[in-house]
Amino acid sequence: MSDSNSDSDSTTSPIGAPEAAVPVVGAISLIGRRNSMEDAISVWPNLCSPYINQHRPIDFFAVYDGHCGPHSCFERIDEMAFDTCYKCGIGVPCGCPPHYYGIGGSTALLTILTEKTIIVANCGDSRAVLCTGGRAIPLSIDHKPDRPEERARIEACGGHVDFDCYARVLGILAMSRAIGAKYLKEYITSEPEFTFTKREAEDEFLILASDGLWKAVSNDDACKVARECLQKEKPFGSGDVFSSPSNAAAALLTRLAMGRGSQDNISVIVVDLKITS
């Protein structure tokens, strides 16, 4: 469900130096009512070594929502990105079966949490929401084909947006930006949109989720449910999934989406900004 760096050389501080604080995170990914699992999540608390980063914590979280068939290439896309960056290489093979090269694709919602800033890069229709002072603040905007600027870009490239139950590029893809999906690359882009948000004392938590949550649950409702969980001394329920308030919040959000009729895979990450371990 999540990844973390277990290399002892990268997680220990020099003698006498304080360990970097790690946020308390809850994460869950459910197949839901789909026949296959196309979502993937990644949780890398304390991504950079405290020694390298002068003891300032940097944490990485990501949600990927694949489409056009289950495949493993997006489950490790963050690791490949890090590896490519480290080696200064390009064209790292993803390991997908050949018939996925043209049709497979994914959203990518990446969040880097530093001591002072929340950095969000979004490509697709997964979403990041910050709860601050009891208010739900979206940190990303869904890339939907019916967004005026997105539709204008698609039409300028010679494409069109069809409207059925959802707006779709050429009547096929219900998002205007994605990684992969080469068969539509003439009309969609993989360029992300970034937001940089200064951290404030009243910031409470982050919710990162695929559209399996957001199609059924509003930003305000999601923050209300998560806030109630995080404010309890003991989590709701029992078992590993309720091992912490953050895990309980993520689990209850997926249950709420299912109860409201979500038909998609549902992936949720809840990052408590008030508590560190």
pLDDT of residue 233: 62
The pair phi, psi for residue 8, each rounded to 5°, is: -65, -30
Percentage of residues in the chain with pLDDT exceeding 70?
72
In degrees, to the nearest 5, what angle opens at C-alpha 244 toward C-alphas 246 and 274?
50
Q: Is the pLDDT at 12 greater than 70, yes or no?
A: no
Contact 22, 44 (CB under 8 A): no
Q: Is pLDDT above 70 for 277?
A: no
Binned at pLDDT 50, 70 and 90, residue 13 comes out as: very low
Domain positions in the chain: 8-143+178-276, 150-177
If you average pLDDT over residues 133-152, what whole number do you get?
Answer: 94
Pick the more confident residue, 244 or 202: 202
The pLDDT assigned to 94 comes to 44
Cα dihedral across residues 34, 37, 39, 45: positive or negative: positive
Cβ-count burial of 3 within 10 angstroms (0-12 exposed, 13-18 middle, 19+ buried)? middle
| Alpha-carbon distances of 197 from 18, 112, 137, 238, rounded to whole Å | 26, 11, 10, 35
Among 62, 180, 76, smallest CA distance to 110 is for 62
Fill in the amino acid letter for 187: Y
**CATH architecture group of domain 8-143+178-276:** 4-Layer Sandwich (3.60)
DSSP per-residue codes, 59-105 = EEEEEEEEESS--SGGGGHHHHHHHHHHHT---------GGGTTT-E
pTM of the model: 0.79
More confident residue, 6 or 262: 262
- Residue 160 pLDDT > 60: yes
- Mean of the per-residue pLDDT values for the chain? 80
Percent of the chain with pLDDT over 90: 47
Least confident of 179-188, 250-259, 267-276: 179-188
How many CA within 13 A on the CB side of residue 232? 17
What does the pLDDT read at residue 131?
98
Rounded to a whole number of angstroms, the CA Rg of the chain reads 19
Q: What is the mean pLDDT of residues 189-215?
A: 95
Q: Which two tokens stand for residue 86?
A: 């480290």
Q: What is the pLDDT of residues 34-64, one digit of tens each?
A: 888 888 999 998 877 555 556 677 899 999 9
Average of per-residue pLDDT across 231-254: 77
Alpha-carbon gap, residue 253 to 40, rounded angstroms: 17
Give 89 or 58, the one with higher predicted confidence. Answer: 58
Rounded average pLDDT over 8-33: 66
pLDDT bucket at 17, cuts 50 / 70 / 90: very low
Query: What's the mean pLDDT in 194-219?
Result: 97
236 pLDDT tier (thresholds 50, 70, 90): low
